[in-house]
Structure 1
Amino acid sequence: MHILFLTDNFPPEVNAPASRTFEHCREWVAAGHKVTVITCVPNFPKGKVFGGYRNWPWQREEMSGISVIRVWSYITANEGFARRVVDYLSYMVTAIMAAPFVRNVDLVIGTSPQFFTACAAYCVSRLKRIPFVFELRDLWPESIKAVGAMNHSDILSYLETLEIFLYRKAALIVSVTNSFRENLGARGIDVSKIRVITNGVDANSFNPRSKDSELVDRYGLEDKFVAGYIGTHGMAHALDTILDAAELLQSTEDSRDVRFLLLGDGAGKAELMAQAKQRDLSTVIFIDTVPKHEVVRYWSLLDASIIHLKKSELFRSVIPSKLFESMGMGIPVLLGVEGEAAGIVQSEDVGLVFEAQSAEALCHRLNELRRDNDLRMRLSQNGPVAARNYDRKALAIVMAKALQETLETSKRR
């Protein structure tokens, strides 16, 4: 089976979509399939081209047996809705233009969060007369409304119409949560063609380990309780809640050994850093994005992993991928997300749940965790056990089987 995968994020970018796509494609190649990825020049989230790349119309490389084609796109930082849409649209056009040069393709996958990539995949499927698969990672444009990025009802209405059109045209929809599947079913989409394949963890990379001594010395973390957030600093994450918690704890005598580590980049990072400086939050440490192979060193520093999203009904349906990485590393989770993600944390007993956007609730849970060694040990030990249920390799095999079944069904029609 020759799989053509369209995605605007791919390594060396280190965000969740890039990691999921690469790890799935790598496993498909290992299983004997041929995989071609059409993507952009790496630039996320700062909107700056990574070293060693140029924003040319066509570049080709191979990564772990995956044929990677990089096309030109309008590049901008992950801020400003209008510019981001131009970025998405430019990739959609150039991906469609590049696809005819990829021969003997059996099916095409387009992945969200933004569905202009799925639009491109649908167009390619019509041009090549092959099945179109929609990998649903986010309910876009609902997420635009949830974070308040756009309020123009006419445009949002049009985008929602386009969204439904794509769901109906897809031969297969691969959803990362059960909640997304239920959402689509309630909107009239045939649930028999929706397969839930959650995010997961690369067990070979994310596993329990001692704290990296060099990084402990570099950031002055000896004998400190480190609560960390690793990921995109965006509008949806409401990370000012962590700053509020740091300010509350900084004023208490018994919390001087606590440090908050925030690693990553995004539209909200500059403002967060400015706030931390203005409020003299000496317990908060900001670290820029690091290469993917270095990330686990920074994960090892954490005594608790903070996972947080803005309080919104939509985000009840989201399962942040960093949850699975935390479990794999054996790091107890402090989860400020309601819904399906909270259900996993509680049923697997891998962390504590707190009310989103409540600094007081975060402080309470953090203190509960750091003061109770038995609790911390239990949650830590449960993490790697639970992570086995979300092994990326196994999930990739399940998805490959679903793709194969979709291809065989389309051939019989």
Structure 2
Amino acid sequence: MHILFLTDNFPPEVNAPASRTFEHCREWVRAGHKVTVITGFPNFPKGEVFPGYRNRLWQKETLDGIDVLRVWTYITANEGFFRRILDYQSYMLAAIAAAPFVRNVDVVVATSPQLFTPCAAYVVSRAKRIPYVFELRDLWPESIRAVGALSRAPRIFALLERLELFLYRKAERIVSVTESFRRNLITRGIAAEKISVVTNGVDAARFHPLPRDEALAARFGLSGKFVAGYIGTHGMAHSLETLLDAAVLLKSHPEGADIRLLFLGDGARKQAVKDRARDMGLDNVLFLDSVPKNEVPRYWSLLDVSVIHLKKTELFTTVIPSKLFECMGMGIPVLHGVAGESAEIVEREGVGLIFEPENAEALTAGLLRLKSDAGLYREIHSRGPVAARHYDRSELAMRMLSVLEAACQT
């Protein structure tokens, strides 16, 4: 089977969609299938093309047996709604233009959250007379409205929602990353039998328990410190100001003197969060920029606790942050500030503590508890790698492959 995968994020970018797509495609190649990915030139999240690349008309390369066709797009930083829409639309048009040069394709797959990539997949599927599969990673445009980005543009939201439902209906199969997304689509009239759930997972070969990288810890002044870290996108949805408020509380607590909060990543709110930390006079927080994919586990090893957090809104009760599974794999206890389906996983697997989103006092209490209760910490630490076996990326890739095969047989 020849699988054509459309995605606007792909390694060497290190965000969740890039990692999921790469790891799935790699497993499909290992299973004997041909995979071609059409993507842009790596630039997420700063809107700066990575070293070794330039934003030209097209470029071919091969990564772990995956044929990668990179196309020109309008590049902008991951901030500003309308500029990002131009970015997404330029990729859509470029992917449609490039697809005829990829021959003998059996199925085309597109990944969300934004809808312009599935739009391209739908057009390509009609032109090539092949099925198209929609990988649903987020409920877009609802997730935009949840952070207030479309509050003043109800007509645009309505148009995007109509487009969303059209693309669901036209897809031969839909692969949802959560059960909550599946239920949402069914209540909106999408046929249940064509929706499969393939959760996010972890690449066990990369994310497994590691001793702290002491050289790295010394470099950043973290030797002998209890480190709680947020690793990932610094966006509007993450409400990282809650972590800063917790840092203030820790400074005034007798048990908080040797606790440090580490922020690793980039995003639309990164500079604003840094500025606020400076204005608050916080000397117990550390901000680091994104690092190359092969360096990420070293930075995870610095953490005693991983903080996962999203804004307190109904929509985010339906999401499962992918970093949860990486924490499991590395045996890092989680302080989980996301209600809903993902919190149920944390409690069921026993891999962390739950706290109310946007509640700095609850976050602080959980952090101090994990620091002071050595028995609880060891128990949670030991459960992570065991739980991670239930979310092994290679097995999940095969589950999605069976969906693609079914789509081709319809």
- The TM-score bracket by the shorter chain reads over 0.9
1:198 aligns with 2:232: no
Cα deviation for residue 149 of structure 1 reads 1.0
Question: C-alpha displacement at 1:280, in angstroms?
Answer: 1.1
Match of 1:157 in 2: 158
The structural deviation recorded for 1:310 is 0.6
Amino acid aligned to 2:196: R
Matched, 1:350 2:390: no
1:328 Cα deviation after fit: 0.3
Equivalent in the alignment of 2:121: 121
Whether the 8 Å contact between 2:34 and 2:66 is mirrored in structure 1 is yes
- Segments ≥4 residues shifted beyond 2 Å: none
State how far apart, in whole Å, the 2-side matches of 1:45 and 1:150 are.
Answer: 21
Aligned counterpart, 2:394: 393
| 2:65 paired residue number | 65
Residue equivalent to 2:268? 267
Amino acid at match of 1:79: E
Provide Cα deviations, 1:243-274, integer angstroms capped at 9, x if missing partner.
11001111222211100000000000001111
CA distance in 1, matches of 2:250, 2:216: 23
What does 1:14-413 align with in structure 2 at a 5 Å threshold?
A: 14-151=14-151, 152-409=153-410
Kindly state the Cα deviation for residue 216 of structure 1 after the two structures are TM-superposed: 1.1
Asked whether the equivalents of residues 255 and 368 of structure 2 are also in contact (C-alpha less than 8 Å), the reply is: no
SS of aligned partner of 1:406: helix
Query: 1:325 offset after TM fit, Å?
Result: 0.2
Alpha-carbon RMSD: 0.6
Cα distance in 2 for residues equivalent to 1:79 and 1:343: 31
Matches of 1:29 and 1:295, distance apart in 2: 24
Structure 2 unmatched runs, 5+: none
Give, in whole Å, the separation in 2 of the partners of 1:254 and 1:399.
Answer: 46
Asked if the contact 2:28–2:401 (Cα under 8 Å) also holds between the matched residues in 1, the reply is yes
Structure 2: which amino acid aligns with 1:9? N
Aligned-partner SS, 1:91: helix
Structure 1 residues 351-392: Cα deviation after superposition (integer angstroms, max 9, x where no partner)? 000000010110011111111001010011000000000000
1:374 match: secondary structure: helix
Aligned positions, number? 409
**TM-score scaled to structure 2, two decimals?**
0.99
Q: What one-letter code is carried by the residue in structure 2 that aligns with 1:22? A: F
| CA deviation profile, 1:89-125 (whole Å, cap 9, x unmatched) | 0000010000000000000001001111000000100
Q: Give secondary structure in 2 for the equivalent of 1:255.
A: coil
Structure 1: runs of 5+ lacking an equivalent: none
Distance in structure 2 (CA, Å) of the matches to 1:294 and 1:353: 28
Letter of the 2:310 counterpart? L
Q: Distance in 2 between matches of 1:52 and 1:43?
A: 11
**Residues in 2 aligned to 1:329 and 1:319: alpha-carbon distance in whole angstroms:** 18
Aligned amino acid, residue 186 of structure 1: T
The alpha carbon displacement at 1:315 in A equals: 0.3
Deviation at 1:222, TM superposition (A): 1.7
